[in-house]
């Protein structure tokens, strides 16, 4: 079994690609962006805002970056089909 298949079958992967997991990614992205905005005069604030775009975009567009990094599908819907 490949690493991407193993990840696709994990509890974490099923959670992160569920509607609750997508919402969690959006909220985490918004929280990072908000924290970064409050600290925008520091370089850490700017970095937090840029990094916050990753989970925000991934959650909004139903993308699974971890799966893609492991060689699996990037679309959450395709990954969900693999676990069925």
Q: What does the block give as tokens for 78?
A: 């395709």
CA distance 72 to 6: 10
pLDDT at 78 over 80: no
Q: How many structural domains is the chain composed of?
A: 1
Residues 27, 33, 34: CA angle, nearest 5 degrees: 85
> Is pTM, for the whole model, over 0.95?
no
Query: Which residues form the domain of 69?
Result: 3-79
Asked whether residue 84 is domain-assigned, the answer is no
CA distance 41 to 16: 32
Contact partners, residue 49, CB within 8 Å, separation at least 6 = 32, 33, 36, 37, 40
More confident residue, 70 or 34: 34
Position 83 scores a pLDDT of 53
Instruction: Using pLDDT thresholds of 50, 70 and 90, give the confidence band for residue 79.
Output: low
């Amino acid at each position: 079994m490949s690493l991407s298949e193993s990840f696709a079958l994990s509890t974490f992967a099923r959670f992160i690609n569920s509607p609750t997991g997508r919402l969690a990614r959006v909220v985490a992205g918004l929280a990072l962006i908000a924290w970064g905005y409050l600290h925008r005069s520091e370089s850490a604030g700017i970095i937090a805002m840029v990094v916050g775009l990753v989970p925000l975009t991934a959650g909004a567009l139903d993308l699974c970056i971890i799966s893609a990094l492991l060689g699996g599908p990037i679309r959450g819907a395709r990954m969900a089909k693999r676990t069925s």
